[in-house]
Structure 1
């Protein structure tokens, strides 16, 4: 196992800053996912870790040693690329053993380590086959074994499952996680798939335009996004223009307790945190569409001011298109200037109320307890 660190890492291509001031630490045996949209700089960061790209600024350290200027073959790293890059004129065994033969290891040692690597990735007994005789998933496992056989301290994976179908991606990411645990190897995994990152990672580093937006455990990135970008990028999120007045956040026909200075803001509300109660008048949001996914209902709504929102409900909840629903958020976040606004913990009685009820002077009422927000920006 090994530790990995980047210090103020940067990479320019002419006037373009592909990576800007990225500082990361990856612990022994940790699996870190670099996540971001296309062009966010995640693959460039990975290539600099592996020595395939030279930084314009900053440093890369492995176990405390500066490897910034070392060539890829002199680093204790292995790289698995998006393309399998297997030699079709060689069989599977020869593809995996190639790097060991370059090191002029004894034949018995080459055979032992190659067979062990193939066994680890679930390809024992397939060494005599050609890559063209394998499925896409099996070819990706060969590429993984080819890196693992060299016993790197750190394994780097650049969107290795991008060309595979969803079912195979899900199966292989589970296998990679199991391999990582059994081998005890430190991994950095690049992906633009949020589900992949949430399922695989010990921590997630979200990049945007070459800069780090947030580095945290998956559940923290999902539940407490530090920036509006992360909130909108990770999972599904309702992002709504809002305004704070008199200690209440007014948005889409809702009034939510918010101990913030008055002014414009953005309300972030996940579909699973948006509770619905059947409304008896036209003030409620109109249900446009209900999709049954088996485990839950996905509901699309239109508010009285024309905003489109998404919510979820339990199967059999009875929602159908055309019904009216009062909105009862159970958890929400507020952003200003793109950053999370810290708010004090809500009291048990501080429940969301409908804007119409608040204006009418009725006592606050609601159905869900708000979760506290302690995260500081």
Structure 2
């Protein structure tokens, strides 16, 4: 299909930058998710790739051809917006056929390609329906078909499922992934939903304040975050501040081995890396509540200084409210000045570092 190259792209508004010096290569057939909170610059970057915004600096190349200053209609890209942007006075067929008619394709070709696009998104018998007669999920499928029918080299999706309910979002993202894999089309998908990014992406680009915090496959982003921001944004992460003295991280309630230079540090511990043991010690952590998700229980533990930790436990675990518990830690990250400086309990390690108390 196509290879996308972004070289030092920036977009300024007034004195500030929405996107600041971003460079990225997206390989042929790859699905990359741009993930970040509101205002991180992910949608602005996508709009620049599609030609709906012009960069203040930098270059955008598709298959080594500079498209930085080309308008959207002259780029080999197709864009699906969150708002669907369908014409309500036209039926489904005419909405999808519009771009082909602008390109003056023969009538027989238009019919064949529209019918193929409808079948691809699971709406084979919906061509004559008005868009107002469709559900939100069906409207989004029409918007996807309208882009795919033009056979773009690169598909751009700007939070297309944000307005849909959770169940429908999960169903449609599976369909989009299947279609993308089947067509082998290079795709960029903007979302602020971490679950969506983890489920869809070959690689995730985590953005913050217009810059890229980390670019990596989903498992690396989750298990080896480079920054404290990425660690907190992807999945659930417990953070606790410690003071490191002679290789020991000390906290009011606990200590554990932290082999970094002396000084303050932040520990990041995933809920699944915590284990609980009942304790009779008065200064032990106390269970605040336990939530049963069927496949597991998520237990909130309050430490003495008010820090709340979350532990993921087997569903049969009995952890009543108020129970005093000791914590076991099998893996953790150490951050300083927002960057990771050490990681304990590498992937696949069976070693558990037992927390000790002062």
Unaligned runs of 5+ residues in structure 2 are none
Tell me what 1:82 maps to.
Answer: 82
Tell me what 1:41 maps to.
Answer: 41
Matches within 5 A, 1:292-331: 292-331=292-331
1:201-232, Cα deviation, whole Å (9 max, x unpaired): 00000000000000000011111110111111
3-state DSSP class of the match of 2:342? coil
Seen in structure 2, the aligned counterparts of structure 1 residues 12 and 243 have a Cα distance that, compared at 3 Å, is same
Q: Displacement, 1:236?
A: 1.0
Provide the rounded CA distance (Å) in 1 between the counterparts of 2:106 and 2:350: 70
1:257-285, Cα deviation, whole Å (9 max, x unpaired): 22110000000011111111111221320
- TM-score, scaled to structure 1: 0.92
Unaligned runs of 5+ residues in structure 1 are 357-377
Tell me what 1:29 maps to.
Answer: 29
Seen in structure 2, the aligned counterparts of structure 1 residues 242 and 78 have a Cα distance that, compared at 3 Å, is same
- TM-score, scaled to structure 2: 0.97
Stretches of 4+ aligned residues off by more than 3 angstroms: 342-350
1:35-66, Cα deviation, whole Å (9 max, x unpaired): 00000000000000001100001110111111
Tell me what 1:217 maps to.
Answer: 217
Q: Tell me, yes or no, if structure 1 residue 263 matches structure 2 residue 263.
A: yes
Matches within 5 A, 1:158-197: 158-197=158-197
Q: Displacement, 1:349?
A: 7.0
1:89-140, Cα deviation, whole Å (9 max, x unpaired): 1110110011001111111110111100000000001101000111100000
Provide the rounded CA distance (Å) in 2 between the counterparts of 1:292 and 1:262: 40
Tell me what 1:354 maps to.
Answer: 356
Seen in structure 2, the aligned counterparts of structure 1 residues 86 and 287 have a Cα distance that, compared at 3 Å, is same
Provide the rounded CA distance (Å) in 2 between the counterparts of 1:313 and 1:194: 22
3-state DSSP class of the match of 1:325? strand
Provide the rounded CA distance (Å) in 1 between the counterparts of 2:35 and 2:316: 36
Seen in structure 2, the aligned counterparts of structure 1 residues 273 and 32 have a Cα distance that, compared at 3 Å, is same
Q: Displacement, 1:248?
A: 1.3
Q: Displacement, 1:350?
A: 7.4
Provide the rounded CA distance (Å) in 1 between the counterparts of 2:294 and 2:93: 44
3-state DSSP class of the match of 1:198? helix
Matches within 5 A, 1:53-132: 53-132=53-132
Provide the rounded CA distance (Å) in 2 between the counterparts of 1:251 and 1:330: 18
How many residues were matched structurally? 356
- 2:40 touches 2:209 (CA, 8 Å); kept in 1? yes
Tell me what 2:137 maps to.
Answer: 137
Tell me what 1:18 maps to.
Answer: 18
Provide the rounded CA distance (Å) in 1 between the counterparts of 2:211 and 2:242: 28
Q: Displacement, 1:342?
A: 3.3
Q: CA RMSD in A?
A: 1.5
